[in-house]
Amino acid sequence: MKLTSRMAGLTLAGLMASTMIGGAMAEETIKIGILHSLSGTMAISETTLKDTMLFLIEEQNKKGGVLGKKLEPVVVDPASDWPLFAEKARELISVNKVSAVFGCWTSVSRKSVLPVFEELNSILFYPVQYEGEESQRNVFYTGAAPNQQAIPAVDYLMNEEGVERWVLAGTDYVYPRTTNKILEAYLKSKGVKDEDIMINYTPFGHSDWQTIVSDIKAFGSAGKKTAVVSTINGDANVPFYKELGNAGIKAEDIPVVAFSVGEEELAGLDTAPLVGHLAAWNYFQSVDNPVNAEFIKSWRAFIGDEKRVTNDPMEAHFIGFNMWVKAVEKAGTTDPDAVIDSLIGVSVPNLSGGYSAMMPNHHITKPVLIGEIQADGQFETVWQTPGLVVGDEWSDYLEGSKDLIADWRAPLSCGNFNVKTGKCGGSGS
């Protein structure tokens, strides 16, 4: 063999070896998809969840990763554009080959990606309170169902504050509309009359609240204690609360209980006019226990900001991520089918004190807390459930839902099983 041809052979072998090593190195990480809006109307809420996932992945990598492999985040920006969520989800699963996705905020974004996760058989962890009426095999709901947030909030206002008139104010999409349908049915079951319920919807990013706040003020002047139950989402909350202040509506007159305003949203507001208004969540930064204290300390060190806040959807990602890690280690693989089966029954610490477990309906157990806004933008817990509440995927207050259950264990493996007919209704979403 001539020297030149031998050299060429060695070079080719070296190239093949380096390609194989490069391929092997690429396979040495487990990819995690992060599907949160970093621009548009929902960026005010979702950007911090992207940061949370980067933090959780870094912390896990310090512990050696999962199954002996490092975790690699893959971040995309669906830009508060609901159809784009489906496109980006497909890209994460098909192109980037992620093992699981953590993402979405609004229900319309979640509904947009459901067919993609079902078709491609991947896993989505959804970290935000939602309207229920769904249980899909490929989705794990770590945010609150209505019985873990909306119903307890109304109970609190009714029983502790003596509220008799109700303004149900929401952004115009599926979560507020379905939640308010459930709340309206619930209020009527408690004897509240039609004329004591006012329902109002506004578009995403709505900014002119003068007329609506004026209507709320007039509605609250009928001599009955009135409250606003707010499912207003995203940056529309900023002018809404500002207008409440301008109109002189104080918490002691017409309290607002919000389901989508937490510490992150308050960080961008002048909280002076908001003091005393309420929020219902399953976690507040102000919760006093060692697990939460350690989480806050590590989070601030990661983000490099001693004033950066934590909030409920962050805790939901903390719970969901740790459940995924535990289920993967239990299954010994990242294969979606094995992990989906392994997730049921997994229990991990939450940040409110105690443990949260993944139930057969793909919802988790959580405490419910009502918090009062303080001048510093934090919440003081004024009420909480005595124990954990199991997320109810199908509402007991809606016809067509109250006879349904979800159980993804064999042999049922159904998301909408009708206990009266004994039949599964279909895909379960």
For the cut 50, the answer to whether the pLDDT of residue 35 exceeds it is: yes
For the cut 50, the answer to whether the pLDDT of residue 8 exceeds it is: no
Q: Is 222 helix (H, G, I), strand (E, B) or coil?
A: coil
Do 320 and 142 contact (CB within 8 A), yes or no?
Answer: yes
What is the number of other CB atoms lying within 10 angstroms of the CB of residue 182?
23
Q: 316: Cβ–Cβ under 8 A, 6 or more apart, which residues?
A: 127, 128, 142, 143, 282
Task: Give the pLDDT confidence of 183-198 residue by residue, as tens digits.
Answer: 999 999 999 999 999 9
Structural tokens at position 159: 């029983």
Confidence of residue 23 (pLDDT cuts 50, 70, 90): very low
What number is the average pLDDT over the span 392-421?
96
Which is the CATH superfamily of the domain at 147-249?
Answer: Response regulator (3.40.50.2300)
Task: Give the pLDDT confidence of 219-241 residue by residue, as tens digits.
Answer: 999 999 999 999 999 889 989 99
For the cut 90, the answer to whether the pLDDT of residue 258 exceeds it is: yes
For the cut 80, the answer to whether the pLDDT of residue 3 exceeds it is: no
Using CA atoms, how far apart are residues 255 and 266, in angstroms rounded to an integer?
16
- Ranges of each domain in the chain: 147-249
Give the position of tokens 């979405």.
Answer: 104
Using CA atoms, how far apart are residues 219 and 208, in angstroms rounded to an integer?
19
Question: What is the Cα 300 distance to its own chain's centre?
Answer: 21
pTM of the model: 0.89
Q: What is the distance between the terminal CA atoms of the chain, rounded to a whole angstrom? A: 67
What number is the average pLDDT over the span 257-286?
91
Of residues 429, 332, 348, the one with CA closest to residue 133: 429
Do 37 and 79 contact (CB within 8 A), yes or no?
Answer: yes
Confidence of residue 428 (pLDDT cuts 50, 70, 90): very low
Provide the pLDDT for residue 426.
Answer: 59
Q: Is 155 helix (H, G, I), strand (E, B) or coil?
A: helix
Confidence of residue 1 (pLDDT cuts 50, 70, 90): very low
Task: Give the pLDDT confidence of 348-388 residue by residue, as tens digits.
Answer: 999 998 999 999 999 999 999 999 999 999 999 999 999 99
Question: What is the Cα 389 distance to its own chain's centre?
Answer: 16
For the cut 80, the answer to whether the pLDDT of residue 10 exceeds it is: no
- Per 3-state DSSP, what percentage of the chain is helix, strand, and coil (rounded to 5)? 40, 20, 40
Give the position of tokens 């896990």.
Answer: 60
For the cut 60, the answer to whether the pLDDT of residue 276 exceeds it is: yes
| For helices 43-62 and 290-303, angle between their N-to-C axes, nearest 10 degrees | 100
Is beta strand 165-171 parallel, antiparallel or unpaired with respect to 197-202?
parallel
